[in-house]
Amino acid sequence: MTDQLLLGQTLRFSGDPFVGDPEAVTHISARGGVLVRDGRIAAVGEADDLRRDNPQATVTEHGNHLITAGFVDAHMHYPQTAMIASWGKRLIDWLNTYTFPEEMRFADRAYADDIAGRTLDLALANGTTTLTSFCTIHPQSVEAFFEAANTRGMAVVGGKTCMDRNAPDGLQDDAQSAYSDSKSLLETWHGKDRISYAITPRFSPTSTPEQLDALGALWAEFPDVLMQTHLSEQLDEIEWVRGLFPDTRDYLDTYEKFGLLGERGLYGHAIHLEPREIDRLAEVNAAVVHCPTSNTFIGSGLFNMSGLKSRGIRTGLATDTGGGSSFSMLRTMAAAYEISQLRGTALHPAQLMWLATEGSASALHMSGEIGSLNVGAMADIAVLDLASTPAITQRSCRADSLWEALFPTIMMGDDRSISTTYVAGRPV
């Protein structure tokens, strides 16, 4: 394959911008380039140097556009794509009114194929190159998602959502089928091409202790895979959990006592955490995933970004579609900024971009492979137009630094701000 040289402004990271000065670990070139070879990043540097050293490369000129790592969405529900932005409910009512009826349609493989392809194409249009998705209880919903990702060459994470109570009959499995179906899918798909499997109990209220125990046993058999679930999203949900699990210390303990707390655990939302829960998440080096547009849309609460990051807890960023109200990670970054402002912290643009790329990749244990513009990473790349709309243009033209030029796109950008998305070096 011919080497490709992508030229423009470049932005990459060599560390976590939440630790110390955010700009100290941020590397910007006003006239930089990325050399892509066999689907991976072979070199990053100044445009003139890369041109001189790689005369054989095919050059793609992106002008003043910003070349960055493709976005990594660390928590979403592809089966909810068609009912995104459904009006008005609290979490439990919203699930019963909108989510569960829609997920029942995924018993039809043709429908699952259609929505899986639609979701991935919407993600790519928004510069997102990796999705981490809950599927439905139907194994074919997982197969549809993975096959659609393989067709597009994307790295994705997914798993069969397991529920054996507090859901419609058509959306319930049982402890044995949750274990058996998940194990079969895991053995078939995990590590195939760019696919990663995640053991997926929806959340404690929809799983009996027997099912949680079975999934904990499965994770113990395959400790290298991820486990994804939800944690402490809403206060009334937490009260529900207390009633269902009266012998546990807190919400996190409903996972811990069944072997579902660990370093490769992904705990979505994690808004209303008790001190013990924060301590345990930090001790086991688990990851939490911030879903800001969902948290505001469903009225869940304000995620404590600075508090959790100060404890060293790995944190990803996610759209949580369709509870989240946008497929855009730019809009998601904007919402994360707004929530942190309400908690008294103004996140730096470098921190926001890092959360949407390297931070989410770290949560998924894929650092250096995705979400990175550094040498050796897969060439999953987003190219941002920093003057995509008149409102953004008139603000960014006054900027005297890249951060001032980029921040209006973070706050006001959408799919129009995505000039090009590359997956493994291929423009899509």
What dotted CATH number matches 71-327?
3.20.20.140
Contact 366, 378 (CB under 8 A): no
pLDDT of residue 200: 98
One fold for both 4-70+372-427 and 71-327?
no
Residues 4-70+372-427, CATH architecture: Roll (2.30)
CB atoms within 10 A of CB 221: 10
Burial zone of 209 (CB within 10 Å; 0-12 exposed, 13-18 middle, 19+ buried): middle
Sheet order of strands, 426-427 included: 40-46, 26-37, 4-13, 58-69, 381-384, 418-423, 426-427
On average, the pLDDT of the chain sits at: 97
Q: Is the pTM of this model over 0.75?
A: yes
CB atoms within 10 A of CB 389: 16
Summarised one tens digit per residue, pLDDT across range 355-375 is 999 999 999 999 999 999 999
Instruction: Locate the domains of the chain by residue range.
Output: 4-70+372-427, 71-327
pLDDT of residue 1: 67
Take residue 50 and report the two structure tokens written for it: 């890369």
Summarised one tens digit per residue, pLDDT across range 117-132 is 999 999 999 999 999 9
Summarised one tens digit per residue, pLDDT across range 142-183 is 999 999 999 999 999 999 999 999 999 999 999 999 999 999
Angstrom CA distances, 211 to 216, 217, 362, stand at: 8, 10, 28
Summarised one tens digit per residue, pLDDT across range 319-360 is 999 988 999 999 999 999 999 999 999 999 999 999 999 999
Cis peptide before 322 (omega within 30 of 0): yes
Which is nearest to 408 in space by CA: 334, 344, 341, 336?
334
Summarised one tens digit per residue, pLDDT across range 19-32 is 999 999 999 999 99
